[in-house]
Amino acid sequence: MQISAPCVVSLSWRLEDAQGQPIDELAEPLEFFYGGDDLFAKVEQVLEGQEAGFETSVALEPEEAFGDYDSNLVCFESKTLFPDGIETGMQFEGLPEGAATENMPMAIYTVTEVYPEHVVLDGNHPLAGVGLRMHIKVLDVREATEEEIEAGSLGEAVFHIGAPSDATLH
């Protein structure tokens, strides 16, 4: 079966930064809804019309993947708003209740620094601003079910695509 919207593709991949440094590898195949919200637009373009067994490499500029880095998504909040034991690398959905920073989008915020009185939070995706190279292999293609078509997704995919600050890689 050829890949065309809507369908479900089973992929494996190796993800590297623009310098060839490994970031992630999906050795076990994972299914994605093709023609919805599960894949980057450029990846869908490359897969259009292909079949199981197809392999390729795709270069993605930051704006084609997780967006450019936005320094406006970095803020400082009082350490008292966070649980004891707060550490660099912890992530929170949205800012904590009582946050002093206003008008920040709903995003996953990563703690980038912890000081005695405050915490630095970054709402950018960890790969924002990074050029990527995906080495992709199509393992299977099948028709999408009515439920999958209606949802436009197979649920929580590896890539959630929305505004760049909403994109998450799990």
Task: List, for residues 134-168, the tens digit of each pLDDT value.
Answer: 999 999 999 999 999 998 888 754 554 333 333 33
Count of Cβ atoms closer than 10 Å to residue 106 Cβ = 11
Range of the domain at 81: 71-122
117 and 142 together in one domain: no
Question: Within a domain: residue 1?
Answer: no
30 and 108 together in one domain: no
> Please, which residues have CB within 8 angstroms of residue 41's CB and are 6 or more apart in sequence?
64, 161
35 and 118 together in one domain: no
- The reply to whether the predicted model has a pTM over 0.85 is no
Here the CATH number for the domain that contains residue 91 is 2.40.10.330
Task: List, for residues 9-52, the tens digit of each pLDDT value.
Answer: 999 999 999 999 999 999 899 999 999 989 999 999 999 999 99
Total tally of structural domains belonging to the chain: 2
20 and 49 together in one domain: yes
